[in-house]
Structure 1
Amino acid sequence: MSASAYTANCGGCSGFTATGINLKSNPNAKVVAVDPSVIPLGTKVWVEGYGVAVAGDTGGSIQGNRIDLHVASSSQAHAFGTRTVTVKILD
């Protein structure tokens, strides 16, 4: 899948995911934004280079085989960039 990274610490970001996870209170939470028609919300996944996470968010540009990984800071998100990763459904 194509992967990018995002942070809850940005102007206009509420910090809450589509499933209600407060990322500002949990900056190290392993949460990925997904297209729910590909990976249902609430699914536990393993992402190459990121680890085990929950599919707990969505995004306007997250469609098809694309995911967005939550990271704690903008610098981490920029450093991650965009890359191809292996994603495994765990449950």
Structure 2
Amino acid sequence: MTASAYTASCNGCSGFTSTGINLKANPHMKVVAVDPSVIPLGTKLWVEGYGNAVAGDTGGSIRGHRVDLHFPTKSAAYQFGRKQVKVKIID
């Protein structure tokens, strides 16, 4: 899948995912934004180069076989960038 990165540490970001996870209160939580028609929300995942995570968010441009990985800081998100990764459903 194609993976990009995002952070809740930005001006104007609420910090809450579409499933209600507060990423500002839990900045190191591994949360993945997914297309729920491909990966249901709440699914536990393993993402290459990211580790174990939960499908806990959606995104306006996350459609099909794309994921968006949450990082605690803007610099960490920029450092990850965009790349092809393997994603496995573990639950």
TM range (shorter): over 0.9
User: How far apart in 1 are the matches of 2:80 and 2:90?
Assistant: 23
Partner Cα distance (1:11, 1:38) in 2: 30
Tell me what 1:17 maps to: 17
What residue identity is the alignment partner of 1:4? Answer: S
- Tell me, what secondary structure is at the counterpart of 1:6? strand
TM-score by length of 2: 0.98
Superposed structure 1 runs of 4+ greater than 4 Å apart: none
Counterpart for residue 5 of structure 1? 5
For structure 1, which runs of at least 5 residues remain unmatched after alignment?
none
Give the counterpart letter for 1:25 in structure 2: A
Q: How many pairs align? A: 91
Q: Which residue of 2 aligns with 1:81?
A: 81
What is aligned with 1:62? 62
Task: Calculate the aligned-residue CA RMSD, in Å.
Answer: 0.4
- CA-CA distance at 1:10 after TM superposition: 1.0
User: Structure 1 vs Structure 2: percent identity of aligned residues?
Assistant: 74
Following superposition, the deviation at residue 12 of structure 1 comes to: 1.3
TM-score (norm: length of structure 1): 0.98
Q: Which runs of 5+ in 2 are unaligned?
A: none
